[in-house]
Amino acid sequence: MSASGAEGQALHAVPEVATEKQTIAQAVRDAMLEEMERDERVIVLGEDVGVDGGVFRATDGLIERFGAERVIDTPLAESAIIGMSVGLAATGFRPIAEIQFMGFVYPAINQLFAHAARMRNRTRGTLSCPMVVRMPYGGGIHPPEHHSESYEALFLNTPGFKVVVPSNPYDAKGLLISAIRDDDPVLFMEPKRVYRAFREAVPAEAYTVPLGRAAVAREGTDVTLIAWGAMVRVCLDASEVLAREDINAEVVDLRTLNPLDRETIISSVVKTGRAVVVHEAPRTGGFGAEISAQIHEHAMLQLEAPVQRVAGFDVVFPLAHNEKLYLPSRDRIVKAVEKVLAF
């Protein structure tokens, strides 16, 4: 089964092939569509993914193209959706399970933690678990709690998963195709806040963006902003503000949280001497803590200031009118940068 398409394009590189302006949601859909065309082992399952095409339209048109045997409307049963995916994956299928909102994955945690993540290790590689779990995550669209959460740290503290978070349409398609082709369980977190926020040129054909490699979304010399998903754009925004004050920020878009591209992080921090990590999830035990620890372990002597974190607060995701206070904003990032510069 040969994979067609360009290998590992860098972020935002304008490809030579035919492109179409697409949103993240469309890019996600096309990634699945193309992989389903290429590989009949790829199937899609989840709540409302079939006849309806998904509550976020990410599976729109797939059932018409591939039929109900490959695009499966499941009962409302996350535990079974993921548990079945484990069984399917171990039997040679490549399931892509959709969890409607990341906050609804909890009933399936047992299947994910106790089974999906451990299959390869337990069987010394005899069985693996080539499955993708797609989960719209994060805030910014106003509904309460479970509909706005960002709990990637749970999965990063569990060995056995790859965790991928695209920030733009080009990466969304390339990373999802890599995830589908990967032999391990990949949690693919989709930033619903920017699902349709902007369009970008996306190649019409299949291509991959390699897992485990971060991208430098903006080059700079004074401070490194490290983010993923929807927060990348907020960091880019903050960089524009900083640029007006003659502060030149570099923005590292991690794209994959596990495996983590430490090299890119460290070489950026070695260059700038300062780092701010930005994420939506609560601060305590969030992935920012791990990144900060790694920077201190590997670039302590090059640091000009302690690493700062701009994160959600240690509370349940608040109701709509407090959402703005909770989510890291351009201003909070600018303040954190000023703090590391003033140290």
Ligand X SMILES: Cc1ncc(C[n+]2csc(CCOP(=O)(O)OP(=O)(O)O)c2C)c(N)n1
Nearest-approach distance from CB 87 to ligand X, in angstroms: 21
Instruction: Pick the closer one to ligand X by CB: 95 or 220.
Output: 95
87 alpha-carbon distance from chain centroid? 24
d(CA 188, CA 209): 13
Active-site residue flag, 115: no
Query: Of residues 26-85, which lie at the interface with other proteins (CB under 8 A)?
Result: 47-48, 50-53, 55-57, 73-80
Instruction: Pick the closer one to other proteins by CB: 75 or 92.
Output: 75
Strand, coil or helix: what is 317?
A: coil
Window contacting ligand X (CB under 6 A); options: 100-108, 149-157, 210-218, 223-231? 100-108
CB 154 within 8 A of CB 132: no
# chain residues binding ligand X, by CB under 6 A: 6
Window contacting ligand X (CB under 6 A); options: 99-107, 125-133, 158-166, 206-214? 99-107
CA dihedral 312, 318, 323, 329 (to 10 degrees): -10
289-292 CB contacts, 8 Å cutoff, 24+ apart: 290/156, 291/226, 291/260, 291/265
What does 57 bind: ligand X, other proteins, none (CB cut-off 5 to 8 Å by kind)? other proteins
98 near ligand X (CB under 6 A):
no
Residue of 100, 224, 268, 308 that binds ligand X (CB under 6 A): 100
* Closest by Cα among 165, 170, 193, 168 to 20: 170
* Closest by Cα among 172, 190, 251, 189 to 215: 251
Residue of 10, 319, 325, 343 that binds other proteins (CB under 8 A): 319
DSSP designation for 300: G
Residues that bind other proteins (CB under 8 A): 25, 47-48, 50-53, 55-57, 73-80, 104, 106-107, 141-147, 192, 195-196, 316, 318-322
**Residues designated catalytic:** 147
